Structure 1
Amino acid sequence: MITTTKTGAYLVNGTDLIEDSAEALEAVAAKTGKTPDKEEAKKGTIAYSILKAHNTSGNMDDLQIKFDKLTSHDITYVGIIQTARASGLTKFPIPYVLTNCHNSLCAVGGTINEDDHMFGLTAAKKYGGMYVPPHQAVIHQFAREVLATGGGMILGSDSHTRYGALGTMAMGEGGPELVKQLLSQTYDIKMPGVIAIYMTGEPVKGVGPQDVALAIIGEVFKSGYVKNKVMEFVGPGVASLSADFRIGVDVMTTETTCLSSIWQTDDEIESFYEIHGRKEDYKKLSPSDVAYYDGVVKVDLSTIRPMIAMPFHPSMAYEIDFVNANLEQMLHETEERAKVSFGDKIEYSLKDKIVDGKFLVDQGIIAGCAGGGFENICAAADIMKGRYIGADKFTMSVYPASTPIYMELLKNGVAASLLETGTVLKTAFCGPCFGAGDTPANNAFSIRHSTRNFPNREGSKVQNGQISSVALMDARSIAATAANKGFLTPATEFDGEYNQYTYHFDANIYKNRVFDSHGVADPDAQIQFGPNIKDWPKMEALPKNLVLKVVSEIHDPVTTTDELIPSGETSSYRSNPQGLAEFTLSRKDPEYVGRAKEIQKAETALVAGDDPFKAVPELENVVETIKKSGADITLDVESVGFGSTIFAVKPGDGSAREQAASCQKVLGGWANVANEYATKRYRSNLINWGMLPLIIEKGDLPFKNLDYIFLPDIRKEVEDKADTIKAVAVSGDQTKEFTMTLGDLTDHERQIILDGCLINFNRQ
């Protein structure tokens, strides 16, 4: 059972939880002998101590963080380094690891994926970084094995940058935040709230880390209970979990929309570091004798049963037994959710997967930073041993998260055991998680121990009439399902025994293959560019006024970054800002790109000194209508900017990928309008690309798609830190005044918006 408190709580001696109330102080005093001070007790969390050690502002309310290490993969590092180079980068100031686990197949667009890899290798040589070749390790497993340190902080350009189980507070952000660190700038945030994930009991046989993670996500996602906060895992139940189990839960905290995570550490984690030859990097972490948390998620591990997150979000979490008992209803609800995302564009039906009253799925995948761990794969092999997936359409693939894990599976016989069942073993690769590998057949249903199951993330293309779907499950229940030839089965039905496997880490695998500059830059090294690698286009500073055309209107409850810029094969184009921009919203609103490019013609003409009305004739009437309201607009780049905006209820859930924002900017986007932003990551990406993160209250919109929004004196309002942003909706010859807000912005963020983007800011 998982519950949340309505108030904060004190944790005494790491075990006794006392919810905040009129009697709480007396209760704490009875246990400790002194009355606690709440503000002092807030400093007793593990999170506070780590943030304090990395804060450079001298003010714990307004943090300016410098991280210890950085990490990126081959979807993001080219753009990051190109941005930093344009801003004067000469050397990586802290360790920066470039992994190659996303665009590993080199199967799209000819040479462009491998060209990116060569860019990464030569950049690591020139600027003093590390380079992990394709198929060696997924980004987060390499970080666990090589980078994590007790009490450290790591920033990564992948949303699942989470190493809290190892005592490292890690955050996934868009590329521009890494650029700031590369330029010796800081990560600026308000002191986040800290939520205790208070664990008791221990998991029953057959329950794995994904089950625990999905149960937590299902409880907290919709309410936003941990949104933009730090999840701190404490309590007596933590000791019952292995290091791999904790890691498997920890990596999924991203799906709660929290800011980061951290765990208390013990002998189990010390052993992990020792196995990896880094015992000196271990640090025992625990809350102070009295620590105060802003909220508590109570997790009784013994009550959790095998879970399944139905399409199309990790929060659609149910017990597998419940789904099997209510199969028709559950599949009908999934079909109805599909209509919200896809409308009537495609035919989507799951009812034909009910065979003799059971749910027959088409594919099983255990992969990546969440599923590809040693213990998960060994447990799956034990469940499947002596069984066969059959010769029908059900398929099963397993991707160990790193070559050292793969090596141990070969040595201990687990690999052979899996292959005998009909399972395919593949190399370390993140592709199944984001649609660059193992895309199911049309209307097929895949069960995966991976991180996400958003619409289209598995690689299908609605614009081409395709649809398939993914449910998230733990490796153990996926194996039980595979052993049952594809019929959905919880691992608690496995009545055999799990073997005890000892992991041995072979460091020579990386020593012989990973390039490590040991922090020594080579200024004479030449970066190798491929023909697809392009510089960022020039971006203008924020003008006095903005005239924006609404070119997409999305009313889904949540819009994911996968819908804003699709994953899958489009990832190969992420070194080419203009090329990638052609895919923006392509699977959600195929007309977006054409509409955005059309209004962008006006800005292009204005910058060139030409007549914007000739480029976009309808603008002349729009501007005349605006002038009738008393606005003073002259046709020059300092007075006015023409461009586009989108409206979405709650955009930005999911990936850290900056391209969800930068592609809009490349196409002339000046702003987003939303009721709220799903994650800090996405909002920060908007800001770093010079886009206004506008917020409008829920309710009837004063504008509709293809209308215009005029923002008078917007530059001055940003400069003056205005509480409200004045706006005018223009529809034909009708106008309607309304207001929006920008939310909290740091001084640096305001200046980035004023300058037009982070690149311009740094050039100043």
Structure 2
Amino acid sequence: MITLIDKSVTLFNGKVLVAEPEKLSDDELKARLAEEGEHYEGSLPVQSGEGTMARRIVAAHDSYRGDGLLHLKFDALTSHDITYVAALQTAVACGLEKFPVPYVLTNCHNSLCAVGGTINEDDHMFGLTAARKFGGIFVPRHLAVIHQYMRETTAKSGGMILGTDSHTRYGALGTLAVGEGGPEMVKQLLGRTYDFAWPGVIAVYLTGTPRPGVGPHDVALAVIGAVFASGFVKNKVMEFVGPGVSSLSAEFRLGIDVMTTETACWSSIWRTDEKIAEFFRVHGRPQDYAPLEPDAAARYDGALVVDLSAVEPMIAVPFHPSNAFTIADFNANAGDILRQAERDARELMDNPELDVDLTGKLRGGTFHVEQGVICGCAGGNFENLVAAAQILDGGSTGRGAFGLSVYPSSMPVGEALMNGGWMQKLISAGAVNYPAFCGPCFGAGETPCNQGFSVRHTTRNFPNREGSKPNAGQWSAVALMDARSIAATAANGGALTSAFEFADRLAEHEPYVFDAEIYAKRVYNGFGRPHPETELRYGPNIKPWPGIAPLPENQLLLVASVIDDPVTTTDELIPSGETSSLRSNPLKLAEFTLQRKDPNYVPAAKRAKALEEARAAAVKDGGGMPAELKKLLELAGIAAGRVGLGSLVCAVKPGDGSAREQAASSQKMLGGQANVAREYATKRYRSNLVNWGMAPWIVGDADRARFKTGAWLFIPGVRAFVDGDGTEIEAELLDGCTRLPVTLSLPGVTRGERDMLLAGCLMNAYRDEKNN
């Protein structure tokens, strides 16, 4: 089904992949191409990405400086209502005057959170006044989820878009799109650049045609399962090529594309064709289409060869999209797979006594679930919901515990489903129709019952992503499946079922009709027409960022938490769901940092922060210091005026998942100054740390094993080190009277990142520049 080629490959004429053709003689290469009916006479590309679509698009957006880095400016920007307030607050503090490119503010994440009184709508009013003041685009709540709106109105072939949501992916339309944290958005809003080393490109070579019953989520889960654990495409571009691309509709491609985020890749791009041209025509934007193909010879750093005809309906069991099985294999081995999921649950929740019973859902050899959800940027599109309606037409979801919810990804999609009679078929079968909303994807709606199991066509199935609270004795879980198999499961009253069993119901249907008037009559589009006299409307929960100190000469950092899980998600670092309602109040939100993973983290971090405040006061006023602080300074052999105190988190591989900057800023609000890890799961999380003045230290496994909760990391000369050009520094772990040496490294740190760390955060760095 999927073959990985872990060596350089060259794609000839868009059709023939040859591994390391430079090792073949001219005659051997000609013979290899002739076998496939192809011919090539040019020179071979030698650089990473040479001849690829990705390289061509990036070059067109690069402000070349000759320093070995890309310096990118994007064509358009987008944020939703969990991320735009923080980004705008930072940009305003740095002197924002107007939006330099179209900036779309959507309201699709906290529009149904019944938490905190007026705070959700207060943020929306802040966003609307910001769009008016600075010349932006404001999409009111329930009108569209962020990525569907960008597909329908903004993405262009050959363009680049930056979003403060990790699933910012429009590669199927020919747009290289990147999801990052808020500080990277701030840089673009201030006319600065996105600085990044060339990421490399992996070819995703598609062949064949999906069988009836196989949907985009099945292909996506198969790909994620094949590459995530090894990091095969981590921080690279996935470039989709090959004859199989043409067998997929535009929406099928978009459904795969949005899930590439879960491979840990940097971005994605697809070759375009008449089906993509038709997508732009349907949406009234034919001028935004351009044909995209690799050059006659394009060099890739590796390849995935995917036979679409061999893909089967899939299920990703808790707790990651890469934990993927065919539904046939799952049903044949459900007991073993579920027992492993139970063990994973107890381990990930750090509670061996947690009441977890998945095997009890096996009845007569069939696994039964309580809930199905088809939702958001991955699941809620027209073709997915039409397929679900075809499978359920004339059927019933039953009168038992199982319930099915459907959320069209935009109001135009919902209207088209109603006009075609598809929504009526779903409702008649027992499905409940909701407006466009991302909540079920991140735990702000549709939380199952305790011990409940939900199958969802959404983006993630991380621990507690569905909204349960294990530390309150609640636990439920999510598995990812395609809309077609979810509908098949619904047709069987919640008994897990492959869409292959209902494939004969899937048929051609009338094409999607887009109604642009829905947006024209409701969306505020002020791009290019800022009104600087507009006052930003602040709600009582919208608080400014507090003052942040620059990097001190030396550091003492409390090891406030040690996490030994193979991967730590951003949802574990700062929980999503109802806590996201507090996103505009940095200090309140920080109280939930690592709440579900390590409840002892917040009090430990606060303890270190209190010691730093006592140290600073003593230096300023000449007063006394707490006994604990005196003892610590004596052990380190450092004077109070020459050191700064803070805290850190030590993990194996933190930062998988969401782009939310709060995963870093919440630590910073509690006095966090660094993280220590074997590696960082994503580029976006590492960037969030740096932009918030937190050093992303790397340590070897032997040194990482020395980190214990409650110890202090002493980094002498840290400011001089960061100000220089070294990549390794010697430090010590102080634990009681024990001193253990450790080596810290900052590989790949750029001059700009060093300046950010020295200043203490992005805001400080930009203020310093302005004042100088």
Identify the residue that residue 763 of structure 2 maps to in structure 1: 759
SS in 2 for 1:297: strand
Q: 2:652 aligns with which of 626, 649, 655?
A: 649
Identify the residue that residue 2 of structure 2 maps to in structure 1: 2
d(CA) in 2 for partners of 1:496, 1:59: 58
Identify the residue that residue 665 of structure 1 maps to in structure 2: 668
Matched, 1:746 2:750: yes
Identify the residue that residue 361 of structure 1 maps to in structure 2: 369
Matched, 1:697 2:706: no
Which string of whole-angstrom CA distances, capped at 9 and with x for unpartnered residues, describes residues 325-375 of structure 1? 111111111111112201325211101101111000110000000000100
**C-alpha contact (below 8 Å) 1:25/1:35 kept by paired residues:** no
Identify the residue that residue 715 of structure 2 maps to in structure 1: 711
Task: Read off the aligned partner of 2:739 and give its amino acid letter.
Answer: T
Identify the residue that residue 315 of structure 1 maps to in structure 2: 322
d(CA) in 1 for partners of 2:330, 2:410: 33
d(CA) in 1 for partners of 2:104, 2:556: 42
TM-score normalised to the size of structure 2?
0.96
d(CA) in 2 for partners of 1:616, 1:380: 65
1:617 offset after TM fit, Å?
Answer: 3.1
**C-alpha contact (below 8 Å) 1:106/1:114 kept by paired residues:** no
**C-alpha contact (below 8 Å) 2:222/2:311 kept by paired residues:** yes
Matched, 1:680 2:676: no
d(CA) in 2 for partners of 1:401, 1:249: 15
Task: Read off the aligned partner of 2:714 and give its amino acid letter.
Answer: F
Identify the residue that residue 430 of structure 2 maps to in structure 1: 422
SS in 1 for 2:161: strand
Q: After superposing the two structures, state which structure 1 stretch, 252-261 or 87-96, moved more.
A: 87-96
d(CA) in 2 for partners of 1:613, 1:460: 47
Change (3 A) 1:176 1:754: same
1:27 offset after TM fit, Å?
Answer: 4.6
d(CA) in 1 for partners of 2:48, 2:678: 34
Task: Read off the aligned partner of 1:268 and give its amino acid letter.
Answer: K
1:614 offset after TM fit, Å?
Answer: 5.9
1:520 offset after TM fit, Å?
Answer: 1.0
Task: Read off the aligned partner of 2:505 and give its amino acid letter.
Answer: G
Identify the residue that residue 462 of structure 2 maps to in structure 1: 454
d(CA) in 2 for partners of 1:426, 1:746: 46
Task: Give ranges in structure 1 of 5+ residues lacking alignment.
Answer: 628-632
Identify the residue that residue 635 of structure 1 maps to in structure 2: 640
Map 1:370-385 → 2, pairs under 5 A? 370-385=378-393
**C-alpha contact (below 8 Å) 1:481/1:490 kept by paired residues:** yes
Task: Read off the aligned partner of 2:673 and give its amino acid letter.
Answer: W
Matched, 1:619 2:629: yes
Change (3 A) 1:70 1:585: same
Task: Give ranges in structure 2 of 5+ residues lacking alignment.
Answer: 34-38
Q: 1:150 aligns with which of 157, 163, 172?
A: 157
SS in 2 for 1:446: strand
Task: Read off the aligned partner of 1:697 and give its amino acid letter.
Answer: G
Identify the residue that residue 434 of structure 1 maps to in structure 2: 442
Q: 1:108 aligns with which of 86, 99, 115?
A: 115
Matched, 1:729 2:729: no
TM-score normalised to the size of structure 1?
0.97
Identify the residue that residue 574 of structure 2 maps to in structure 1: 565
Identify the residue that residue 630 of structure 1 maps to in structure 2: none
1:59 offset after TM fit, Å?
Answer: 4.1
d(CA) in 1 for partners of 2:103, 2:274: 29
SS in 2 for 1:110: coil
Task: Read off the aligned partner of 1:739 and give its amino acid letter.
Answer: T
SS in 2 for 1:454: coil
Map 1:421-570 → 2, pairs under 5 A? 421-494=429-502, 495-570=504-579
Matched, 1:579 2:588: yes
SS in 1 for 2:702: coil
d(CA) in 1 for partners of 2:67, 2:238: 18
Matched, 1:125 2:126: no
Map 1:159-178 → 2, pairs under 5 A? 159-178=166-185
Task: Read off the aligned partner of 1:427 and give its amino acid letter.
Answer: P
**RMSD value, Cα:** 1.4
1:612 offset after TM fit, Å?
Answer: 10
**C-alpha contact (below 8 Å) 2:113/2:445 kept by paired residues:** no
1:615 offset after TM fit, Å?
Answer: 6.1
Q: 2:73 aligns with which of 47, 66, 76?
A: 66
Task: Give the share of equivalent positions with the same residue, in percent.
Answer: 56
Matched, 1:265 2:272: yes
Identify the residue that residue 36 of structure 2 maps to in structure 1: none
SS in 2 for 1:39: coil
SS in 2 for 1:42: coil
**C-alpha contact (below 8 Å) 2:614/2:626 kept by paired residues:** no
SS in 2 for 1:81: helix
Q: 1:403 aligns with which of 411, 428, 432?
A: 411
Change (3 A) 1:40 1:548: closer
Task: Read off the aligned partner of 1:179 and give its amino acid letter.
Answer: V
Task: Read off the aligned partner of 2:572 and give its amino acid letter.
Answer: E
Change (3 A) 1:493 1:598: same
Change (3 A) 1:211 1:59: farther
Map 1:5-154 → 2, pairs under 5 A? 5-20=5-20, 22-23=23-24, 26-29=27-30, 31=33, 32-34=39-41, 36-39=43-46, 42-59=49-66, 61-154=68-161
